[in-house]
Amino acid sequence: MTVEEIVAELKKKGSTSTKNVLMKHGAKEPFYGVKVADLKVIQKKVKKNHELALELYDTGISDARYLAGLIAEPAKMTKKQLQHWVKNANWYMLTEYTVAWVAAESNYGWELAMEWIDSKNEGIASCGWSTLSSIVAIKQDDELDMAALKKLLKRVEKEIDKAANRVKYTMNGFVISVGCYVTSLTETATATAHKLGQVYVDMGGTACKVPLATDYIDKVADKGRLGKKRKTAIC
């Protein structure tokens, strides 16, 4: 399928009801309001396609950008392309999921994440923390810098109260991810989670809630799933 054909398909699959829900969550125009399930139908048709993913992202259409993340080939992403994606993402579904997932599976995930978390731009900083969360979820422990992760947990503890809204959310998510996926740091992450307590984030009047990190880690532990890595960040 070409970009033009896909955009036409997205336009047909979009709905006002889905669009209204996404707008409450912060989605920005232009977008059609296509359900993720419908995006995955198109994903199965085109499979992985690096060039098509880049073209879709550059349409500026949010639905197309999310689909771009699903069909992207992270190993082929250059640092410049990832920087372009994060700088042009205009709401959290793109920064914290699409771009973060692709970055985490790329050759530059850790490097860029550490750069992004220092950004004064809320979206870029939240993307950085989400990228780190995905990295610890998919990489084996011997591939991770444990000392750096410990420092990042300390940083969250120190900075979360003054962080921007979505950065708070993704910092909390990072603590959860380390606690669930890196067993040697589960105790440390849990201690950090206890110090954080309930993190309050403005969810834009939606029914969504910020997960309590301690409860989340405990639930994963109760299921016997601590340390069970994911095969892929992109889903």
Domain ends where: 72, 102, 117? 72
In 24-49, which positions are buried (b, 16+ CB within 10 angstroms) versus exposed (e)?
A: eeebeeebbbbbeebbeebbeebeeb
Same domain, 96 and 10: no
pTM for the model stands at 0.97
User: Distance (Å, rounded) from C-alpha 23 to C-alpha 189?
Assistant: 34
Closest CA to 149 of 109, 111, 188: 188
Judge whether 7 lies within some domain: yes
Q: Please report, to the nearest 10 degrees, the dihedral formed by the alpha carbons of residues 95, 150, 172, 183 taken in order.
A: 100
Judge whether 83 lies within some domain: no
Same domain, 24 and 123: no
Same domain, 64 and 132: no
Share above pLDDT 70 across residues of the chain, in percent, rounded to a whole number: 100
CA 115 to chain centre: 16
The Cα-based distances of 87 to 124, 156, 217 in angstroms read 7, 23, 32
Same domain, 25 and 111: no
Judge whether 206 lies within some domain: yes
**Strand stretches in the chain, DSSP E:** none
In contact, 136 and 110? CB cutoff 8 Å: no
Give me the pLDDT at residue 204, please. 86
Q: Per residue in 126-170, pLDDT tens?
A: 999 999 999 999 999 999 999 999 999 999 999 999 999 999 999
Same domain, 210 and 118: yes
Q: Per residue in 182-223, pLDDT tens?
A: 999 999 999 999 999 999 999 988 889 999 999 999 999 999
Same domain, 6 and 96: no
Domain of residue 176, residue span = 90-235
